[in-house]
Amino acid sequence: MTMHEGSAGGPTDGSADDGALLRAVVLSKQVSSPEGTLTILDAVSLAVQRGETLAITGPSGSGKSTLLALLAGLDAPSSGQVFLDGVELSALDEDGRAEARARGVGFVFQSFHLLPALTALENVMLPLELADHGAPRPAAAAVLAEVGLGERLGHYPNQLSGGEQQRVAIARAFAAGPKLLFADEPTGNLDAATGARVADLLFGLNAKLGTTLVIVTHDAGLAARCAREVKLGGGRVVG
Query: How many domains does the chain fold into?
Result: 1
Domain housing 127:
52-76+93-237
Report the distance separating Cα 189 and Cα 81, nearest Å: 32
217 occurs within a structural domain? yes
Q: What does residue 222 show for φ and ψ, rounded to 5 degrees?
A: -65, -45
Q: Where does residue 171 rank: exposed (0-12), middle (13-18), buried (19+ CB within 10 A)?
A: buried
138: Cβ contacts below 8 Å, ≥ 6 apart? none
**Calpha distance 185→214 (Å, rounded):** 11
In a domain, 214, yes or no: yes
Name the least confident of 11-20, 26-35, 47-56, 58-67. 11-20
The total number of residues written for the chain in this structure: 239
Position 104 in a domain: yes
Residue 205 belongs to a domain: yes
CATH number of 62's domain: 3.40.50.300
What's the pLDDT tens digit per position in 87-123? 898 888 888 888 888 778 999 988 889 999 999 999 9
**Which pLDDT tens digit goes with each residue over 192-235?**
888 888 899 889 888 888 999 999 998 899 999 999 999 999 99
20-33 and 36-49 strand pairing: antiparallel
Look at residue 66 and tell me whether its pLDDT is greater than 80.
yes
Phi, psi of 87 (to 5 degrees): -100, 130
What is the model's pTM?
0.85
